[in-house]
């Protein structure tokens, strides 16, 4: 029987408790889970590619599955999935807006490679509001982010905000 390899792609800028929930649950569905860290050209990342990869590696080191690895990529998701021999893409859904975007993305990806299936996992109810974009915004205005990220990620974000400067009065 072939090894089931799944990819959980994202920018992870920064990695949140919501991401970690999907990683832990997604790892149960496959023999190997590859966390694909990429840059979304529509977003302005707070952390560069290497910093985000290192952050994700550090955070998943504590997950109870030894079949997780972190790989950076800068290509079409379907090309990356083919290179990794993955047959499944795992996507986290927080709500209807995410679903509409992911539905369109999945349709386009199936046009590129209909051999790779997409699996949607609903975020845990308590974690559904968390979005990296909002975590960064809250931090930039000096708000508390400890409910949304691990202590180590909080320290990373706060150090970066200190370096680039807080917003607001």
Instruction: Compute the Cα dihedral for 39, 54, 72, 49 and give only its sign.
Output: positive
| Residues belonging to the active site | 19, 43, 94, 132
Q: How far apart are CA 126 and CA 55, in angstroms?
A: 23
Instruction: Compute the Cα dihedral for 48, 32, 78, 26 and give only its sign.
Output: negative
Integer CA distances (angstroms), 74 to 9, 60, 79, 120, in order = 11, 21, 10, 22
């Amino acid at each position: 029987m072939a090894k089931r390899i799944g990819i959980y792609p994202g920018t992870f800028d920064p990695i949140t408790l919501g991401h970690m929930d999907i990683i832990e649950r997604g790892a149960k569905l496959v023999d190997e889970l590859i966390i694909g860290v990429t840059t979304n050209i529509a977003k302005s990342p707070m952390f560069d590619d290497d910093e985000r990869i290192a952050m994700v590696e550090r955070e998943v080191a504590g997950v109870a599955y030894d079949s997780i690895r972190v790989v950076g990529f800068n290509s079409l998701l379907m090309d990356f999935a083919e290179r990794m021999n993955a047959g499944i893409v795992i996507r986290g859904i927080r709500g209807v807006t995410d679903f509409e975007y992911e539905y369109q993305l999945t349709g386009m990806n199936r046009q590129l490679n209909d051999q790779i299936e997409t699996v949607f996992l609903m975020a845990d109810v308590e974690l559904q509001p968390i979005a990296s974009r909002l975590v960064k915004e809250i931090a930039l205005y000096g708000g508390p982010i400890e409910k949304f990220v691990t202590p180590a990620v909080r320290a990373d974000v706060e150090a970066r905000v200190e370096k680039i400067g807080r917003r607001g009065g």
